Amino acid sequence: MNPIYNNLLKNPQWYQKRKQILQRDGYKCRHCGSSIGLNVHHRQYHIAEQTGYYFLPWKYNDRYLITLCEICHQAGHVNYKVPTFNV
C-alpha cells in the first residue's frame, strides 16, 4: 500500500467515515457475512478534474464504500482492478 495513502487512513475523518460504513453494513462483510477483520473498501477511485489529485478517502459518497473482511478485500484486489474516474 502507498505510504501516503496509508497515513490518510489514520486520519480521524477516515475513522469517522469508516465507522459510518461499518455501522450501515451491520459490522459484517457484504460478500461473505464474516464479522472478523473488517475493512472499508472503495469501490472506485475519483480524481478531481480541476486539480488532478485523488479524492481524500473520507470524501467519497457512501455508495462508493463497502464493508469487506480482510480475505474478501484482498481477493477482490487480486481479481479485479478498482476503476478510477475523473470527476
The whole-number average pLDDT for the span 45-69 is: 96
The pLDDT, as a whole number, for residue 5 is 85
Percent of the chain, pLDDT > 70? Answer: 99
Cα(62)–Cα(18) distance, rounded to whole angstroms? 10
For 13, 45, 47, the CA distances from 65, given in Å and listed in that order, are 15, 10, 16
Cβ atoms 62, 18 nearer than 8 A = no
